[in-house]
C-alpha cells in the first residue's frame, strides 16, 4: 500500500470511529460556527447567492443551518457514516437539504453548480499534495463571482499528536499561495484554547470571490 492511500484510509477510518461515537453518545455537533453565520448573513442581502455547498460537511451542521435560513443547501463528505447522520438530522428537523458521499477532490458536480462553497475545517484533513486539486475543484464548481469561505488549520496549533489520523496544517504564506487563484477578500487568524488552556488550536479563515 502506498503512503498516500494509507493516509486516506487512515483518515476515513478515524472519522468513521468519531462519527460512530457521536451518534451513539448523542454528541452530534448541531450548531453552526459564528463566522459562518456572519458570512451568510451578508450573502442573503442582495448578493444573488442561493445555492451553497458545504464541502467536507461532516454531520451537516452548516448545510442544515443554510437550509434553515432559506438557502438551497447541499453537503458533501467522504464518510458514509457522517452522511447518514446528516440525512437523519435533516429528517428530524424537517429541513430540506441534500447530502452526498464523495471526495473533495472529485465531487461529481457539474461546472458552475453553486453560488457559494464553504469548506469549514475540512481541507486540512487532506494530504498537502491533494490540497491544490481540492481548491481547483472548488473553483470549478463555484460560479464566476461566487463566494468561497474556508477555515483551515494553522501551523501554530499545539494540538497533541494523534496516531489515528493526520491534520495537515498551513502557514499564512502557504494559505495565500494555495488560494491565489481566487480573489481573496480577507484572511483572519482565529485561535481558541481547550483543556484548561493546555492546548491551542489555530485556524486561518478566508473569504474569497471566484474570478
**Residue-wise pLDDT tens digits, 142-167:** 999 999 999 999 988 776 656 556 77
Q: In CATH, what is the architecture of 3-209?
A: 3-Layer(aba) Sandwich (3.40)
Rounded to 5 degrees, φ, ψ at 42 are -80, -35
Mean pLDDT computed over every residue of the chain: 89
pLDDT at 26: 54
Query: From CA 129, how far away is CA 141, in angstroms rounded?
Result: 20
pLDDT at 195: 60
Residue 24: band (very low, low, confident or very high) from pLDDT cuts 50, 70, 90: low
Contacts of 16 (CB under 8 A, 6+ apart): 79, 81
Q: What percent of the chain has pLDDT over 90?
A: 66
Cβ atoms 209, 148 nearer than 8 A: yes
Contacts of 161 (CB under 8 A, 6+ apart): none
Query: From CA 63, how far away is CA 123, in angstroms rounded?
Result: 17
Query: From CA 88, how far away is CA 84, in angstroms rounded?
Result: 6
Query: From CA 201, how far away is CA 172, in angstroms rounded?
Result: 14
Enter the DSSP assignment of 35.
H
pLDDT at 168: 85
Cβ atoms 98, 60 nearer than 8 A: no
Query: From CA 187, how far away is CA 203, in angstroms rounded?
Result: 10
Domain boundaries, the chain: 3-209
More confident position, 106 or 202: 106
pLDDT at 1: 45
In DSSP notation, 82-139 reads HHHHHHHHHHHHT--EEEEE--SS---PPTT-EEEEEEES-GGGS-GGGHHHHHHHHH
Amino acid at each position: 500500500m502506498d503512503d498516500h492511500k494509507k493516509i486516506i484510509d487512515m483518515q476515513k477510518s478515524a472519522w468513521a470511529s468519531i462519527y460512530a461515537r457521536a451518534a451513539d453518545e448523542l454528541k452530534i455537533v448541531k450548531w453552526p460556527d459564528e463566522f459562518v453565520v456572519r458570512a451568510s448573513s451578508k450573502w442573503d442581502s442582495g448578493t444573488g447567492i442561493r445555492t451553497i455547498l458545504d464541502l467536507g460537511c461532516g454531520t451537516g451542521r452548516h448545510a442544515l443551518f443554510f437550509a434553515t435560513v432559506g438557502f438551497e443547501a447541499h453537503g458533501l463528505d467522504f464518510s458514509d457514516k457522517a452522511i447518514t447522520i446528516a440525512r437523519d438530522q435533516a429528517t428530524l428537523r424537517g429541513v430540506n437539504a441534500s447530502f452526498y458521499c464523495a471526495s473533495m477532490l472529485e465531487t461529481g458536480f457539474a461546472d458552475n453548480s453553486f453560488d457559494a462553497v464553504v469548506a469549514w475545517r475540512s481541507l486540512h484533513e487532506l494530504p498537502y499534495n491533494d490540497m491544490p486539486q481540492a481548491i481547483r475543484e472548488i473553483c470549478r464548481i463555484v460560479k464566476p463571482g461566487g463566494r468561497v469561505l474556508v477555515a483551515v488549520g494553522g501551523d501554530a496549533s499545539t494540538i497533541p499528536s494523534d496516531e489515528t489520523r493526520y491534520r495537515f496544517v498551513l502557514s499564512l504564506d502557504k494559505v495565500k499561495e494555495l488560494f491565489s487563484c481566487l480573489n481573496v477578500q480577507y484572511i483572519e487568524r482565529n485561535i481558541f484554547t481547550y483543556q484548561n488552556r493546555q492546548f491551542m488550536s489555530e485556524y486561518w479563515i478566508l473569504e474569497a470571490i471566484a474570478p
